[in-house]
Structure 1
Amino acid sequence: MENLVLFDVAEGTQNLGDYIIMQCIMEEMGFYFNNKYLTHFSTHTPIARCYQNFRRNMMSRACDNSKNKFICGANTIKESLLRISPDWNINIFNIKYYKDSITIGVGMDMNAKNMDFYTKYIYSKIFSKKFIHSTRDNRTMETFKKLGYKAINTGCPTTWKLTEEFCKSIPTKKSDDVIFTLTFYDKDRKNDQKLIDILKENYKKIYFWVQGSEDYEYFNSFENINGIELINPNLQAYEDILNKKNIDYVGTRLHAGIYALRHKVRSIIISIDNRARDMSKTYSLNTIERNNIEMLSKMINSEFETNVKINTKAIEEWKSQFREEKHE
């Protein structure tokens, strides 16, 4: 049986959005993954300790024997890898494990324009030069090309299901109930309080989903939260509430919003960082800037279509590399 290695954003994470990314990748790549043995290594934690890098071990055997290796959905492109990043833990000692890796829907940090020599060197050693890499937005695609790699903007795999035909099944009018999210590591107490107040004014029943490890503590610090029902911090609990009829999604968590769309739930994503802005610009997600939160009530009560502009041609072009088994 052929072996594959997945550098997995859901391993060692404290953000359930990473589980959403991996679930979608497994669904979208099932045609290629299902009949192969998969070994998962975390992108968040070091693949090996320093002393393990100097002798053959289980990790090196898995990577050496794999047909292909995939880096899944991480913020892979950084300005500097000299600083330890919580979502991409790689260094000069463990780059051998990543040799010839292929990316799936990866992105970049906002300030990754002026890369240092060390970071460029690591990138020169880990990415495949044979395969086309999949990026989640145009900025990341252009950066890959500048680094000398073939890349195509497929968007995040969480969006690949959102075809024109699928989006027609998403409601255009406000529902009675809503599920919302907050983001503990990007606090804005003034506007997040306004968000809660607006939801209380416009919906009959309100649910709060805990996507991040400290989202509950942040939520619990606000006023006017009486009557809001807490949804347990796991993907199954979130999926169960999305499958409930007559519910909207509103919130600052990008992947929670996209996951809601995948369950045919009308969604308004509140942009708080470059990921939401980049993807909104490229794919026409229904978003509102948090500093324009006063406009949220009007948007909630308006009628709007969901028309995510995914590039099905680019997605299929990237997938075809594995359907046709090129590069043998």
Structure 2
Amino acid sequence: MSVVVVDPGMTSTNLGDQIISDAVHREFVTPLAKVADKVTVIPMHGPLTEESRQAIRDADEVVVSGTNLLSNHMRFRTSWEWPRSDIELAKGKLTVFGAGWWQYQVGAIDLVTARWMKAMSDGRTWGVRDKYSASRLKAAGLNAEHISCPTLWRVTSQTLPSSETRVIATFTDYNQDPLADRRLVELLESRYEVLYWPQGPGDRKYIESIAPEGAQFIEPSLAAFDSELQKPGSAYVGLRLHGGIRALQYGVPSLILSIDNRAREISRSVGLFSPSRHSFRDIEMALEGHESMPIQLPSKAIDEWSGHWKTK
């Protein structure tokens, strides 16, 4: 069996994609390499090289991992950056792993897209990151299961910030609400030493517009973020989903605020506490400290989905 894995972290300018990529390699690529004849990893972002195209042509399976890939009208408009001709090189052998819906959409998957998805699929179960995404695919006749995001597979619980002295905060440039975000900045600055981490390339400029003059910034690298997370007395509060999940991976108290369907649906699916950034009272109460809350992963579905890759 020859498998191509499409990796969201390679060549991406969003450090959250690197967090996803770490988990994809740990939970899927490394175990798969022990049983597959050949595993080739290619980047999701940017144009394909001819070498990558040939790898897809030669592969028995193509697995695209961890992104906002799915939507009602994928046949016509897709968040996948590749040209349609490159995407369709994977026809009849495509599986998704940890992917989810682009955003909330009214209505069902259009019939042309549903037929196209079925034609692209190799018949394996598509493993998606939340129940919402699974239900939409199943309604269109595709074989899908909620297996959560692989970044959460080794996370057993969530502890909220309480008595910590320093907070690493994130904001996002792509979904701005200066009024709500300044209010959050003021709350954090009144309670903690605050360090800001720009996860995406445009985040720092936006943070500078809402944070006090002289705000402390962490270098925009995953290594720097990891280092700060592991310093004593640290917690995480922010709008960047995977920055918060990275904190949970290290056992660091973390409050992730929902700004779109991703954190909201993961929250509903596994019990992650993730209030809206507009629910200010909930945010204040969360920072008062709570007992550790379990993350309720779909362990049976994860084991079954992973197990299928060990048998062919």
CA distance in 2 between counterparts of 1:59 and 1:230 reads: 37
1:277–1:9 Cα change, 3 Å = same
Residue matched to 2:204: 216
Q: Is structure 2 residue 234 aligned with structure 1 residue 235?
A: no
Give the alignment's Cα RMSD to 1 decimal: 2.3
Matched residue count: 308
CA distance in 1 between counterparts of 2:133 and 2:19 reads: 21
Deviation at 1:288, TM superposition (A): 1.8
Structure 1, residues 43-102: CA drift from partner, whole Å, max 9, x if none? 333436xxxxxxxx53343123324221101222113246655x4124542233222112
Q: Is structure 2 residue 155 aligned with structure 1 residue 162?
A: yes
CA distance in 1 between counterparts of 2:134 and 2:283 reads: 32
Deviation at 1:262, TM superposition (A): 0.4
1:113–1:13 Cα change, 3 Å = farther
The answer on whether the counterparts of 1:144 and 1:151 sit within 8 Å (CA) in structure 2 is: yes
CA distance in 2 between counterparts of 1:248 and 1:225 reads: 22
Residue matched to 1:77: 70
CA distance in 2 between counterparts of 1:84 and 1:237 reads: 36
Gaps in structure 2 of 5+ consecutive residues: none
Residue matched to 1:54: none
Structure 2 residue aligned with 1:180, among 166, 169, 172? 169
The answer on whether the counterparts of 1:249 and 1:257 sit within 8 Å (CA) in structure 2 is: yes
CA distance in 1 between counterparts of 2:166 and 2:207 reads: 18
Q: Read off the aligned partner of 2:260 and give its amino acid letter.
A: D
Gaps in structure 1 of 5+ consecutive residues: 49-56
Residue matched to 1:18: 17
> SS in structure 2 opposite 1:11?
coil
Structure 1, residues 95-140: CA drift from partner, whole Å, max 9, x if none? 33222112111101211744345533432332221x2221101121
Q: Read off the aligned partner of 1:26 and give its amino acid letter.
A: H
Deviation at 1:282, TM superposition (A): 1.2
Q: Read off the aligned partner of 2:202 and give its amino acid letter.
A: E
Structure 1, residues 197-216: CA drift from partner, whole Å, max 9, x if none? 1111111x211111011000
Structure 1, residues 10-52: CA drift from partner, whole Å, max 9, x if none? 234231111111111111122213576443333333436xxxx
**Identity over aligned pairs, percent:** 27
CA distance in 2 between counterparts of 1:113 and 1:211 reads: 33
Structure 1, residues 151-206: CA drift from partner, whole Å, max 9, x if none? 2111011111113xxx38x5774311110100101001011001111111111x21
Structure 1, residues 224-260: CA drift from partner, whole Å, max 9, x if none? 253x321111111111111112211000011111111
Q: Is structure 2 residue 189 aligned with structure 1 residue 200?
A: yes
TM-score (norm 2): 0.90
Map residues 132-171 of structure 1 onto 2, 5 A cutoff. Answer: 132-163=125-156, 167=157
Q: Read off the aligned partner of 2:43 and give its amino acid letter.
A: S
Mean alpha-carbon deviation: is it higher for 237-246 or for 172-181? 172-181
TM-score (norm 1): 0.86
Q: Read off the aligned partner of 1:61 and give its amino acid letter.
A: Q
Deviation at 1:271, TM superposition (A): 0.7
The answer on whether the counterparts of 2:128 and 2:145 sit within 8 Å (CA) in structure 1 is: yes
The answer on whether the counterparts of 1:105 and 1:136 sit within 8 Å (CA) in structure 2 is: yes
CA distance in 1 between counterparts of 2:160 and 2:87 reads: 46
Q: Read off the aligned partner of 1:162 and give its amino acid letter.
A: V
The answer on whether the counterparts of 1:5 and 1:69 sit within 8 Å (CA) in structure 2 is: yes
Residue matched to 2:109: 115
1:291–1:32 Cα change, 3 Å = same
Structure 2 residue aligned with 1:106, among 77, 99, 106? 99
